[in-house]
Amino acid sequence: MNITIGVDVGGTNIVCGATDEAGRVLRKLKRSTEAHTGHEAVLGKIADMVRQIREDLGEDYEATSVGVGVPGLVDPRAGVSKFAGNLKWRDIPVVSLLEQQIGLPVFIDNDVRMYIYGEAVAGAGRGYEHVLGITIGTGIAAAIVNGGELYYGHKAMAGEIGHVRMDGVDEDCACGLSGCLETVASASGMVRQAKKLLREGRASVLNDWFPGDELERLSAADLSKAMDAGDALASEIIVRAGELNGRALAAAAMVLSPDVIVVGGGGALAGERLLAPLRDELYRLLLPDFREELKVVTAEQNDDAGIIGSSLYAAHRSKSI
């Protein structure tokens, strides 16, 4: 049986998984990235993981190619990671270095595109021709899949919806701009907002849950819990994040007219707390013809979408060569 292998390289963990042609995960491994060990060590670890998975699956399974999703700026044609801040990579020829070690065709792309590709082909976007996907996590990014093909744009830079300037937002962003969507509407942005407001003395159950220095441990999941406990501050932050995402998506949707918007990433784990205000704001701002037609769904494979997408992307790319 032919399989492909998908790798999702994050700042914290590397996940590596084999899937069949339908994107079903047959076997999966996870190891810590340890980015400080340098790109050669990290790529060596990836090659080891791929080797391990092939061994574990045995001779009945024939791996044909490997897809690797890397954060940051990627040149998928050249096979190069142009810049990945949390890995401290710059201009790393990932494809050639990995192909030498693995002996299979390797394809790389940006992790968000891999994730959304998987959702478009084998997840929540399955069966739709025009898919607009957004991942709400540490940052916010989008990817577009039309008729099964990822859209890249100039220098493969398409998808930077997280840096669209939002009115009423004035936080400085790491990118150098200010008021970017992701400064307040990403999972990290929500946590940052909460910490700031709590330090300013805002009343919240979170003051009891995270007294003093423990506030550093606050996560987006804690905000969801606080909202469920009726906390006004948590609710305000999550609802606002939902609305801002809805607003940015409305602008993108009117230009692109997707069939469906897939919402994924860690932030999507907030579920309806975030999605209800997102949907309300999105539909409020859409032209009637769009409002009636456009669907909004959450990612199906939130945990495995990265490896499934990378694996299916490798299968797709190796067919088109």
With CB under 8 A as the contact rule, the residue among 259, 266, 276, 318 that binds its own copies is: 259
**Contact 26/32 with Cβ under 8 angstroms?**
no
- Name the one range near its own copies by CB under 8 A: 36-44, 102-110, 194-202, 250-258: 250-258
Q: Does 221 bind its own copies (CB under 8 A)?
A: no
Binding pattern to its own copies, positions 46-85, x when CB under 8 A? ---------------------------x------------
Q: What type of residue is 53?
A: I
Cβ atoms within 10 Å of 172's Cβ, excluding its own: 11
Which DSSP helix (H) or strand (E) runs through 44? helix 39-57
Q: How far apart are CA 209 and CA 214, in angstroms?
A: 8
Token output for 245: 């995402």
Map the footprint of its own copies across residues 289-308, applying CB under 8 A: 289-290, 293-294
Q: Does 163 bind its own copies (CB under 8 A)?
A: yes
- Name the one range near its own copies by CB under 8 A: 84-92, 104-112, 256-264, 301-309: 256-264
Q: Does 147 bind its own copies (CB under 8 A)?
A: no
Q: What type of residue is 191?
A: V
Binding pattern to its own copies, positions 12-51, x when CB under 8 A? ----------------------------------------
Q: Does 258 bind its own copies (CB under 8 A)?
A: yes
Q: Does 189 bind its own copies (CB under 8 A)?
A: no
Q: Does 177 bind its own copies (CB under 8 A)?
A: yes
Q: How far apart are CA 131 and CA 128, in angstroms?
A: 6
**Contact 312/23 with Cβ under 8 angstroms?**
yes
Radius of gyration for the alpha carbons in the chain, expressed in angstroms and rounded: 20
Minimum distance from CB of 283 to its own copies (Å)? Answer: 11
Token output for 223: 């905000």
Using CB under 8 A, count the residues that bind its own copies. 43
With CB under 8 A as the contact rule, the residue among 41, 203, 221, 287 that binds its own copies is: 287
- 160 φ, ψ (degrees, to nearest 5): -85, 50
Q: What type of residue is 11?
A: G
Rounded to whole angstroms, the maximal C-alpha distance in the chain is 62
Minimum distance from CB of 174 to its own copies (Å)? Answer: 11
With CB under 8 A as the contact rule, the residue among 24, 77, 165, 196 that binds its own copies is: 165
Q: Does 158 bind its own copies (CB under 8 A)?
A: yes
User: 3-class DSSP state for residue 35?
Assistant: helix
Burial of 268 (0-12, 13-18, 19+ CB in 10 A): buried
Token output for 246: 């809805």
Residues binding its own copies (CB under 8 A): 73, 129-130, 142, 144, 146, 151-161, 163-165, 167-168, 175-177, 247-248, 250-252, 254-259, 285, 287-290, 293-294
